Structure 1
Amino acid sequence: MPELIAKSALEGRSLTLGTVTLAEVDVGPVTSVAVFPGAAKAVAKGLKTLGLAMPEPNSFAEKKGSRIVWTGRDQAFLMGVEPPVLEGAAVTDQSDGWAALGLTGAGAVEVLARLAPVDLRLAAFAVGRAIRTQLNHMNIVILRTGDHAFEILVFRSMARTAWHELETTMHMVAARAGMKI
């Protein structure tokens, strides 16, 4: 019987253009947690074993290699660790359905501003914030992980398209920065 070998969506790609770096990020296991009505306390008890709690809307939290990201009302992605027992929630492995891209550098906001219809400047979207939005026509989740750093979660089937869109825009931003007006 043949053995299947897991591959990442982008095979570890990395690219730097100007002040911006785009790279595939390994976020570890991704588990969807959807809290059943009235079961918030039971889920909180399970997440407490990781030092985490369900995140507030449009935010995420990290603790010891684990991360929980708001993805909707009473929904979150638990990333980086296998989930504890979470009675009172639908828990679904999403690891093979999502890819993560890191976008870092002084021009990262400029790149995303051309593709996502939200204000991602630091004053409006602080470190620790997360939002579901679009990158052109693709549904994504954007996390602000640093002053000049983002992680972008995209459906694995759209990872190469997202890479292409971001790379093309990085070329435009780098070219514009080099122009004398």
Structure 2
Amino acid sequence: MAELIAKSPCDRLLPVTLGGMSLTEEQPGSMWVLAPFKGQDKALSKALEAAHGMAFPAANRATGKAGSRAVWFGRDMALLMGVEPDTKLAKHAALTDQSDAWAVVRLDGAGAEDVLARLVPVDLRPQVFKRGHTARTELKHMMASVTRIGPQAFQVMVFRSMAKTLVHDLKTAMEAVTARG
């Protein structure tokens, strides 16, 4: 019988370092979509805060911190990353395990905004897109989640099946920004 070997979405594709910028794969661990039942938004937020120390995020925002974060993931949805959801949350929301569904990368360094500006139709300047801001948006030709996680750092997520394309597109943009400087 064949023995299967688990591989990360960006296996052998990362890390990439160019012009003071780095692109690395993140291993967020557990990833669960939380979708509140009708009329349960506030109750879910309170339960999430009690269980995991973070509120349900408002539209285009993330709560929590590295290692344990809730990211707005669309209308009436958030992605809980880094922790298994407390069973009490199921009273207020549908919980869907997405742990193997996403490729998660971190783009960091001076020029990261310029790299993403070539790929996403979102104003990522720090005075507009601050730490904890997030957007579900198109990244070149695929749908992505982009979250500012630091002054010059972004978390970018796409479907696992698009990992190679994501790395290619970000690397190409990194090369272009580096060549310009």
What is the CA RMSD across the aligned residues, in angstroms?
A: 1.5
Work out the percentage of aligned pairs sharing the same amino acid. Answer: 51
**Deviations along 1:85-135, whole A, 9 cap, x unmatched?**
211211000011101010000010000000000100101100111111011
Structure 1: how far apart are the matches of 2:45 and 2:148? 24
SS at match of 1:49: helix
Structure 1: how far apart are the matches of 2:66 and 2:113? 27
Unaligned runs of 5+ in 2: none
Equivalent residues of 1:42, 1:88 under 8 A apart: yes
Trace 1:153-164 onto structure 2 (pairs within 5 A).
Answer: 153-164=157-168
**63, 70, 73: which is aligned to 1:71?**
73
Unaligned runs of 5+ in 1: none
Aligned match of 1:116? 120
Determine whether 1:137 maps to 2:125.
Answer: no
TM-score of the superposition, structure 2-length normalised?
Answer: 0.92
Equivalent residues of 1:129, 1:143 under 8 A apart: yes
Gap change, CA 1:169 and 1:98, over 3 Å in 2:
same
TM-score of the superposition, structure 1-length normalised?
Answer: 0.92
Structure 1: how far apart are the matches of 2:56 and 2:154? 21
Q: How many pairs were matched up? A: 177
Gap change, CA 1:64 and 1:110, over 3 Å in 2:
closer
Aligned match of 1:25? 26
